[in-house]
Structure 1
């Protein structure tokens, strides 16, 4: 049942997203009205998604919290452990050529630095050694620069530096940086400008900062599609933490996961843009029902632990 007013209808088909508006007037005498909208979806916009390649991730597989780095085939299969130290290794990211891994190393009780190693886990080198923690590092598309989050001057801010750790430069207050595929912009999350966590983009020289989301709930973890046309992120605006994609030029947004009271976080696009990997918390019982825990009267959260999921970029 709809009240009178304007309603946006958005269709997503992998590389195609379009929003149109329908005007709903007073209901007819019969109480039923039909509204038609036409969407010109290009042929081939929604190909079958087949997970390929290798997913890199951090995990603490035992009750003793000791984060290490692992890889697993995107289609499922044998897990390979890359690190096994007393330090916490987290936030890994493949280099653009796939030959190296950028990650963070350290301990929350002491300090965290940005480090790099070979794709097989060998030859680890710390790129930062500052008294304040440096984290959430990501490569520029050409592999010559690195963006990371630091509180080294008092602000929680995004900094950039050379791939060898040289010439660190503060860019903007925020976190969760992600470099655009053309190398010209960085998307990020910040609660410093509107009092609420929103998604922004900014040029790498610090100019032309723009806000992409405007919602009373948190929006986090932006991730660029390989062609630069879309940003995936997760949002709390629907009750859980759902995945959305946005057009960074027009601002159009669409929800691509519809499973309330679940957590879908930190999305990463597949190289062909047809799929997304993310960390999620969603447990299904034998009857196909979502399992939740009631943490207090009227408040629920998903059961289970965080796992790695892969879905088409059209969602589920």
Structure 2
């Protein structure tokens, strides 16, 4: 049996996992799976985090055994063999999440000063354990060359990404329309 999960936002979001073609598709905040032979559609998750430009931003594990998708404030994990949701993890994650190249962890920005240790860049293990902040807004502010133009509370961390070898994280910090990159 072949399955497809597709995205109304971007039909090019095709994930080839073994013999299965998976595309994440959201409609009214739900995730659907479609059998490519029978075209049978089944709902597999509700309350997804999605937008009209990017859909649900699926991530595939490097070994192809799992697919991750963003919910409103957490991550969902689909076991590709069973096509079932394995677990939900990372309560309070409201931003874009990126999987490390080795599949062992995630990184995401936090804009809420009341989340755990406050605003900054966070990481966690693939299983949802050991959530920790690796850089605070104050840390990033100290690295900024134009500190005289704004205050730390004016900064917002955006778009963290892992380096291809997984040793570094690149992220963007924006304030008043100006951006800076950090590693």
- Please say if 1:149 is aligned against 2:70: yes
Task: Point out the more displaced range, 219-228 or 127-136.
Answer: 127-136
The Cα offsets for residues 57-111 of structure 1, whole Å up to 9 and x where unpaired, read as xxxxxxxxxxxxxxxxxxxxxxxxxx9x9x43379365588x95643432xxx23
Q: Would you tell me which structure has more helix in proportion to its own residues? A: 2
Alpha-carbon distance between aligned partners in 2 of 1:114 and 1:242, rounded to the nearest angstrom:
36
- Please say if 1:242 is aligned against 2:163: no
Alpha-carbon distance between aligned partners in 2 of 1:90 and 1:212, rounded to the nearest angstrom:
35
> Structure 1 residues 195, 208: closer, same or farther in 2, change over 3 A?
closer
Report the TM-score when normalising by structure 2: 0.61
The Cα offsets for residues 4-47 of structure 1, whole Å up to 9 and x where unpaired, read as xxxxxxxxxxxxxxxxxxxxxxxxxxxxxxxxxxxxxxxxxxxx
Across the aligned residues of Structure 1 and Structure 2, the Cα RMSD in angstroms comes to: 3.7
**How do 1:78-117 and structure 2 match up within 5 A?**
87-89=8-10, 92=13, 95=16, 100=21, 102-106=23-27, 110-113=28-31
> Structure 1 residues 158, 241: closer, same or farther in 2, change over 3 A?
farther
Gaps in structure 1 of 5+ consecutive residues? 1-82, 247-316
**Residue 79 (structure 1) aligns with:** none
1:115–1:127 Cα contact (<8 Å) kept: yes
**Count of residue correspondences:** 149
**Residue 212 (structure 1) aligns with:** 134
Matched position secondary structure for 1:168:
strand
Larger radius of gyration between Structure 1 and Structure 2: 1
**Residue 170 (structure 1) aligns with:** 88
Matched position secondary structure for 1:129:
strand
Report the TM-score when normalising by structure 1: 0.38
How far did 1:123 drift?
A: 9.8
**Residue 181 of structure 1: which of 87, 101, 117 is its match?**
101
The Cα offsets for residues 180-216 of structure 1, whole Å up to 9 and x where unpaired, read as 11121111233332453x3211111222222123113
2:32–2:45 Cα contact (<8 Å) kept: no
